[in-house]
Structure formats: C-alpha cells, structure tokens
Amino acid sequence: MVFSKQPIIDVKGAVIFQGLDTVLQDVNFSIEPDEFVFLIGRTGSGKSSLLKTLYADLPLKMGKAEIVGFHLEKIKRNEVPFLRRKLGIVFQDFQLFPDRTVAENLFFVMRATGWTDREKMKNRMVEVLMRVGLADAATKMPHQLSGGEQQRIVIARALINQPSILLADEPTGNLDPDVADGIFKLFQEINNEGTAILMATHNHDLLRKYPYRVLKCEKGKLLDSKTEDISINTAY
Ligand SMILES: Nc1ncnc2c1ncn2[C@@H]1O[C@H](COP(=O)(O)OP(=O)(O)OP(=O)(O)O)[C@@H](O)[C@H]1O
C-alpha cells in the first residue's frame, strides 16, 4: 500500500515582500518531510526574505503557505512562538549570548519554549550536545569555542524541540572550507534521521558535490530543479 505523505511546506501563489517591495512573485513549491533542499540565488535575490516569511518574521500578504501545519497567510502574532517551536532555525552569524555559557544558552531557549523540569532540561541539553559532537562544551563560554563549534551549538539549540524541519540561512558562510564541510555533514546526518532541511547557500562546492534538489531565486521568481533545469553557475 502506498501512503501519501503530507508535505512539510506547501507554498501556493505566494508573493514575498520586503515592506511594499515585491521580492519574489508567484512562489510555488512543496517540501516533503525527508527532503534536503538547497536555496540558491545571487545576493539580494530573496533567499533570506523567503526564509523569513517561512518562519513568520515577514508577513505573508498574498498567496498561501502551510508549514508544519500552520497557515502563514492567517497566522496570528500569538501563534508565532508555537510555529517557531516546531522549526529549527540556523543563521550564518551564530547569535549565541556571548556572556552566557553554552548550557545557559540552551536553557534560555528551553525556558522560552515552555520547558520547566530541570532534570529533563539537563538530559535534553546533554542529548543535543552529544548529537552535534560537543558533549564537553556545556560549561564553556561561546568565545572559548571555534567558529565551527559555535555553529554546532547553534544547531544543537535548533534541535532542542525536535523540529520536523531546519531552516538554515548560509550556515557555513563564515567558516573555513574544512569546517564548513563538517557542519554540512552534520546537517546531512540530521536529515538522514528524518528532519527535512531547507538551506540557503552560496557554497558552490556543496552544490557540485551533493546533487540535492535546488530552489533558485532569480529575477523575482523561484525556480525549482524538480520541474526545470537550473544552472547553479549563475547563482552568485
Ligand atoms: N530589512 C529589509 N528592509 C527592506 N528591504 C530589505 C530588507 N532586507 C532585505 N531587503 C531587500 O530585499 C531584497 C532581497 O534580499 P534578501 O536579503 O532576501 O536576499 P538574499 O538572496 O538573502 O541575499 P544574500 O545572499 O546577500 O543574503 C533585496 O533587494 C534587499 O535589498
């Protein structure tokens, strides 16, 4: 028997705005729960704006989009934290609190997302730190970690609530190629364990090496390698 899976993201006829300016028109795509998808396009083409719309940092004013069960065209402000709990978000700049330990950084997010039991919080912290290969980092301050290690902590933080998709905006952008490779492999492992990934990237090597599906922002449109040929060489 074939079971049809519900897409984890389903966008129909969406227009992506920055204020009154249209960034992308007639955006249509869906992502399945186990997919790994690259999001590419020249600088300023709309990758971040699309991701921000998906995590409700920008409003969806035209068209429809459903993500992890939330309808973005009608989401209310007080529902946004519940949407974010079901997403993992990873940015290029690490955005850890510099004056708090790794443990305190993780506990902060747990408390903000409804965790209260101290023992469970500790256990989950240990689990996510082990998952990213930094079991011994809990008491360290961010500045005592390398860039790649800090990014691993950000990924650990994004995994706390077992999101069904990770949205990543240039997660390897500030890292040396070797370190970037390790971070990318971590994303692949997380994907193999059943979490969908939508990753904006300028990293040409990754695109050549890993033939995942590609969404490309180009001239105000979103192209999809699932339905058309996409040149990755003009992505920059
Ligand atoms: N906060 C903002 N306010 C107004 N316009 C913005 C804002 N952020 C981005 N824009 C504009 O929206 C358009 C798309 O920018 P966006 O940041 O989404 O592109 P991008 O593809 O993510 O670029 P990059 O690869 O440089 O991150 C650009 O014209 C940009 O100038």
The predicted pLDDT at position 235 comes to 46
Convert the pLDDT of each residue in 147-205 to its tens digit.
999 999 999 999 999 999 999 999 988 888 889 999 999 999 999 999 999 999 998 88
In the predicted model, residues of the chain with pLDDT beneath 50 are 235-236
d(C-alpha 116, C-alpha 92), whole Å: 29
What stretches of 168-224 show up as alpha helix (H) in DSSP? 177-192, 204-209
User: How many residues can be counted in the chain?
Assistant: 236
Ligand 1 site: residues with CB under 6 angstroms?
Answer: 18-19, 23, 41, 43-49, 217
Pocket test for ligand 1, best of 17, 23, 50, 214 (most atoms within 8 A of CB): 23
DSSP state of 109: H
Q: Specify the pTM.
A: 0.93
Q: 183 by DSSP, 3-state: which?
A: helix
Q: Locate the ligand 1 atom nearest the alpha carbon of residue 50 and give its number.
A: 18
φ, ψ dihedrals at 86, nearest 5°? -95, 0
The predicted pLDDT at position 94 comes to 62
Domains of the chain: 34-59+76-224 (3.40.50.300)
Contacts of 77-86 spanning 24+ positions with Cβ under 8 A: 80/56, 81/112, 81/113, 83/55, 83/56, 84/55, 84/56, 84/113, 85/113, 85/114, 85/161, 85/163, 86/161, 86/163, 86/164
Pocket test for ligand 1, best of 20, 38, 49 (most atoms within 8 A of CB): 49
Tokens of 207: 């695109």
The predicted pLDDT at position 78 comes to 93
The predicted pLDDT at position 3 comes to 56
Using DSSP bridges, classify how beta strands 87-90 and 70-71 pair: parallel, antiparallel or unpaired: unpaired
